[in-house]
């Protein structure tokens, strides 16, 4: 990936989101074990550490670093970079009033960092490095981190609960995209915008077609709502149905092209979501993969390499691998 143009994450981060979609897509930052693990790590760092967070998204990890820095007067200097065209200062609500500053930079490929050798004391990353060419990213980390510095990564665990949820989420997205909903909505919207307006003359055949399209759309909505009744991502289901129904009902306010444009836009958003989920599934690593990562770090001269599973409370709720090392 050499450019951030049309990168599947560009649009995603242009909103008031901190955590990534796989963790509820929430406006609040990561909680629980993930947060605890980062708080512990940042608390252990020396004052004035220069921290670089790779694949930062809207800065979930830097924001925790900033909080720890503020609370313990650590005076960290924090940078967050991502391949996506990020701008958390613009999109995150309340960012301007934070008591600390983060230097965010978009369009930065973790495989080719625009920094001098040994520019940072600490490099972190969460749910990001696994998407790229890991050997290249590790090479860059080894180059850019200073002697005596530290690295820590949190990585999607293949058999973990987040990845499992994502698989179901992806199935739901694919059912929304390829099931009856969009076809029926497109037909109903096209018909109603061509023939539904009060001033249009209609034959009885057209009236029948209008009714048929309306009934098919209603039936598709019911079918989708029933099939996704217990969805892991009810927000996506509800958004899709609400937007399509709203677009159909308000046909009178817009041209056919605008109405169908809305439908296309929604289809694109759900497709991007499905793509992100499938990329996550492919990127996640199993225990052997995590061990391999740890060995790779050791072969690059890192010491004290640790590789531990992170659980969400119970041992059967694996979330991620956390891999750390000293330079
Ligand atoms: C699942 S999000 C994680 C974001 C954030 N670190 C978090 O914990 O929520 C993955 C991020 O990795 C970024 N990414 C993927 N490959 C990358 C690469 N080669 N270089 C830089 N960023 C990359 C994506 O743009 C995306 O923002």
Tell me the per-residue pLDDT of 98-110, one tens digit each, with 9 for 90 and over.
999 999 999 999 9
pLDDT band at 2 (very low <50, low <70, confident <90, very high): very low
What is the per-residue pLDDT for 5?
A: 46
| Domain count within the chain | 2
Domain annotation covers residue 9? no
pLDDT at 198: 85
DSSP letters, 11-69, are TTTSSS--S-GGGTT-SSPP-HHHHHHHHHHHHTSPTT-EEEEES-TTTHHHHHHHHHH
275, 280, 281, 286: CA torsion to nearest 10: 170
57 C-beta closer than 6 A to ligand 1: yes
Which of the listed residues 82, 112, 144 should we mutate to test ligand 1's pocket, taking the one with most ligand atoms within 8 A of CB?
Answer: 82
For residue 3, what pLDDT band results from cuts at 50, 70 and 90? very low
Half-sphere exposure of 29 (CA within 13 A, CB side): 23
Domain residue limits at 301: 21-160+284-326
Residues 64 and 98 in one domain: yes
Residue 13 falls inside a structural domain: no
**Same structural domain for residues 116 and 230?**
no
The C-alpha torsion from 266 through 270 and 273 to 278, rounded to 10°, is -150
pLDDT at 23: 57
Q: Please state the pTM of the whole predicted model.
A: 0.89
* Whether 83 and 153 share a structural domain: yes
Q: Does one domain contain both 108 and 239?
A: no
Spatial CB neighbours of 239, under 8 Å, sequence gap ≥ 6: 266
Please state, for a pLDDT cut of 90, what percent of the chain lies above it. Answer: 85
Residue whose CA is at the smallest distance from ligand 1 atom 25: 84
pLDDT (0 to 100) of residue 4? 41
**What are the pLDDT digits (tens) for 138-196?**
999 999 999 999 999 999 999 899 899 999 999 999 999 999 999 999 999 999 999 99
- Are residues 126 and 229 both part of a single domain? no
Band of residue 45 on the pLDDT scale cut at 50, 70, 90? very high
Residue 74 shares a structural domain with residue 153: yes
Q: Are residues 258 and 233 in the same domain?
A: yes
Domain co-membership, 29 together with 145: yes
- 249 and 312, same domain (yes or no): no
Q: Are residues 31 and 155 in the same domain?
A: yes
Average pLDDT, the chain: 93
Taking alpha carbons only, the member of 179, 319, 171, 194 closest to residue 255 is 194
In a domain? residue 8: no
Asked if 293 and 260 sit in the same domain, the reply is no
Q: Choose the residue to mutate in 18, 55, 58, 59 for probing ligand 1, maximizing ligand atoms within 8 Å of C-beta.
A: 55
Is any atom of ligand 1 closer than 6 Å to the C-beta of 153?
A: no
Instruction: State in Å: Cα 47 to ligand 1 middle.
Output: 27
In a domain, 1, yes or no: no
Residue to mutate (ligand 1; options 63, 80, 128, 322; most atoms within 8 A of CB)? 128
In tens, the pLDDT along 59-74 reads 999 999 999 999 999 9
Q: 80 CB less than 6 Å from ligand 1?
A: no
Is the shortest distance between the CB of 307 and ligand 1 below 6 Å? no
Query: Is residue 6 in a domain?
Result: no
């Amino acid at each position: 990936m050499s450019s951030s143009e049309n990168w599947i994450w560009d649009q995603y981060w242009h909103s008031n989101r901190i955590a990534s979609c796989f963790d509820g897509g929430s406006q609040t930052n990561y909680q629980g074990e993930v947060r605890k693990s980062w708080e512990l790590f940042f608390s252990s760092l020396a004052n004035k550490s220069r921290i670089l967070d790779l694949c930062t998204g809207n800065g979930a990890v830097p924001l925790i670093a900033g909080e720890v820095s503020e609370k313990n007067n650590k005076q960290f200097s924090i940078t967050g970079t991502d391949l996506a065209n990020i701008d958390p200062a613009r999109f995150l609500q309340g960012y301007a009033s934070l008591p600390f500053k983060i230097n965010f930079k978009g369009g930065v490929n973790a495989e080719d960092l625009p920094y001098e050798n040994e520019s940072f004391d600490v490099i972190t990353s969460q749910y990001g490095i696994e998407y790229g060419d890991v050997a290249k990213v590790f090479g860059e980390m080894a180059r850019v981190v200073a002697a005596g510095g530290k690295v820590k990564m949190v990585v999607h665990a293949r058999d973990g609960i987040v990845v499992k949820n994502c698989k179901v989420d992806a199935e739901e997205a694919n059912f929304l995209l390829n099931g009856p909903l969009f076809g029926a909505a497109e037909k109903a919207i096209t018909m109603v915008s061509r023939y539904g307006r009060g001033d249009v003359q209609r034959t009885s055949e057209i009236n029948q077609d209008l009714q048929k399209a309306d009934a098919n759309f209603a039936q598709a909505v019911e079918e989708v709502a029933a099939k996704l009744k217990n969805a892991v991502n009810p927000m996506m289901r509800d958004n899709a149905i609400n937007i399509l129904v709203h677009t159909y009902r308000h046909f009178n306010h817009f041209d056919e092209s605008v109405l169908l444009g809305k439908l296309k836009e929604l289809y694109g958003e759900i497709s991007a979501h499905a793509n992100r989920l499938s990329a996550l599934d492919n990127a996640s690593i199993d225990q052997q993969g995590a061990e391999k990562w740890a060995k790779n770090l050791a072969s690059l001269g890192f010491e004290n390499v640790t590789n531990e599973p992170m659980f969400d409370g119970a041992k059967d709720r694996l979330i991620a691998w956390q891999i750390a090392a000293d330079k």
